[in-house]
Structure 1
């Protein structure tokens, strides 16, 4: 229990730091007169607030590992990549994002299993196995769904999310799948170590 509380405290501080950083960016880019960057900071704060609202409305308890991954993903994609323009600084940052999205989606699949099962577990071992397999398949499927979305918007609105390349599309899916597989292996280790359903982590 104390360990979980420490993790929540770390996540609370991390989220607070993101809010503070968004506020600093807003003021800085307001002074500089760079409107797109200024509104990007507002969007980041809005996303953080929206996540809190969704959690409250759905009465969902977001376990520590998932919350940390979501906050880190926001920092990397919305701050480093977009607000600070690190796409041109860090090679293959887009691929790192897709890799990391596989991790997050795997944890989201785990959360979906938790909500769907209603914590009624007749067998600890089988529940852990089902949870992990569902999480893996959910994450891999969502990697494909995202590429379908990018393909559709590219062709309907003349965007270039996929760089007009099958190689880019498949590499993104592969990166997402690798992230999902690595997370699933982590969950297997956790389940075996504690001999209990991973959703109680």
Structure 2
């Protein structure tokens, strides 16, 4: 039986899908193909958090709490508010905010994945595990930030969007924001695990 939180998340996802479908139809009628394409791509993106969560459960991989909700909100912020509503064009800090958040949250996802897949308590010392976890979590997050920039470039090239905005300047600002907050997240996780391991001794 699903919890109330899961029901709320599913309700939000369905409502979001309906909103995107309506947006796609309206833009198609008005001849705004760009927004219609973005709406359709977003419709395909919405199920991904649920698919990833289901696969993680099958493989006994632990994802961060509220993973589905946060990922859905991120899709809503980037695709709907950013592109369709126009926050990327009207709010100069919107793109940086999303990249900073993605960098920070990417570290958390990376830490959970590494903890679930790689860590074996009987094979690694606590000190080595803590350092290893921090490094890999940071690497995971920075890789995600870089892949996002590649996605923006492909979208701008194929769909004539404006995700890259001012070209290389915007790209490096986004990467810098993602890297800085990824580093902050990695340090927090490292210190938390270090304190936890020290307390257990």
Residue in 1 aligned with 2:114?
A: 113
Residue in 1 aligned with 2:14?
A: 19
Unpaired runs of at least 5, structure 1: 1-7, 197-201
Unpaired runs of at least 5, structure 2: none
Residue in 1 aligned with 2:104?
A: 103
The Cα of 1:39 is off from its aligned counterpart by 5.7
Checking the alignment, whether the CA contact within 8 Å between 1:154 and 1:162 is kept in structure 2 is no
The Cα of 1:94 is off from its aligned counterpart by 1.6
| Alignment partners' CA distance in 2, 1:163 and 1:85 | 12
1:113-136 deviation per Cα after TM superposition (whole angstroms, max 9, x unaligned): 13431x522344542332122101
Residue 128 of structure 1 is aligned with which of 123, 127, 130? Answer: 130
Q: Could you tell me the TM-score, scaled by structure 1's length?
A: 0.69
Structure 1 window deviating more from structure 2 (87-96 vs 26-35): it is 26-35
1:1-201 equivalent positions in 2, closer than 5 A: 10=5, 13-27=8-22, 30=25, 33-34=29-30, 36=33, 37=35, 40-57=38-55, 59=58, 60-64=61-65, 66-117=67-118, 119-122=119-122, 123-147=125-149, 153=154, 162=164, 165-191=167-193, 195=196
Aligned length: 186
Checking the alignment, whether the CA contact within 8 Å between 1:19 and 1:45 is kept in structure 2 is no
| Alignment partners' CA distance in 2, 1:189 and 1:115 | 19
The Cα of 1:40 is off from its aligned counterpart by 4.2
Q: Could you tell me the TM-score, scaled by structure 2's length?
A: 0.69
1:24-44 deviation per Cα after TM superposition (whole angstroms, max 9, x unaligned): 342366367357545644433
